[in-house]
Amino acid sequence: MATYGFVYDQTRCIGCNACQMACKDGHDLEMGLFFRKAATLEYTDEQGSLRVMHYSGSCNHCQDAPCIAHCPTGAMHHQDDGTVAVDPLKCIGCGTCTWICPYGAPKLSHKTGRSMKCDACLDRRKEGKEPLCVEACLTHCLQLRDLDAISDEEKRRYTNALPILPSPEKTHPNLLILTKKQ
């Protein structure tokens, strides 16, 4: 069984937001709702210099997903490929997943009253296509990969911890990030 997750090469990201817009448009999301958010953040490094960091994040399809653990109906669940999805027929719209997720991934639809979130474009993947965000990435810095097929040596080049993200120790996100060296 595969375990899919996003691999994000921050060293190549130019902060164009194409991933965010492709996802929003492709899923026809309501105003103010996003499954993927791209941001450019300013921070001060250890030497006191102002730096810029681009980040593109969505659901991290966590191994220990709080949205699954706390969903009272089982609507939030792991799919066979390790990604996390919501079954809209089981969702009662309680919103528990929206406040328990440390990444803010699940959203409550104003139209349906049910939760919705990134499922790594499962329908597109069944057709042999890439997720919308991956397909739209101009610099090819975003991929969806079977993390089990990546060697331990290659994984050591990546992290899933950034100062702007919650501790990965709590959720074990299926996310690998290649960071910029200072």
| Distance, C-alpha 98 to centroid of its chain | 14
**How does DSSP classify residue 64?**
T
> Residue 182's pLDDT is what?
45
Predicted TM-score (pTM) of this structure: 0.93
> Residue 8's pLDDT is what?
98
> Residue 181's pLDDT is what?
63
Q: What residue type is assigned to position 77 of the chain?
A: H
The 10s digit of each residue's pLDDT in 3-40 is: 999 999 999 999 999 999 999 999 999 999 999 999 99
The 10s digit of each residue's pLDDT in 33-87 is: 999 999 999 888 889 999 888 999 999 999 999 999 999 999 999 999 999 999 9
> Residue 52's pLDDT is what?
87
87-100 mean pLDDT: 98
Q: Is residue 87 packed enough to be buried (19+ CB in 10 Å), middle (13-18) or exposed (0-12)?
A: middle
> Residue 106's pLDDT is what?
98
The 10s digit of each residue's pLDDT in 126-182 is: 999 999 999 999 999 999 999 999 999 999 999 999 988 999 999 999 999 999 764
Beta-strand relationship, 142-146 and 4-9: antiparallel
**Cβ(100)–Cβ(67) below 8 Å:** yes
- Which of 163 and 92 is assigned the larger pLDDT? 92
Q: Which CATH architecture has domain 4-178?
A: 2-Layer Sandwich (3.30)
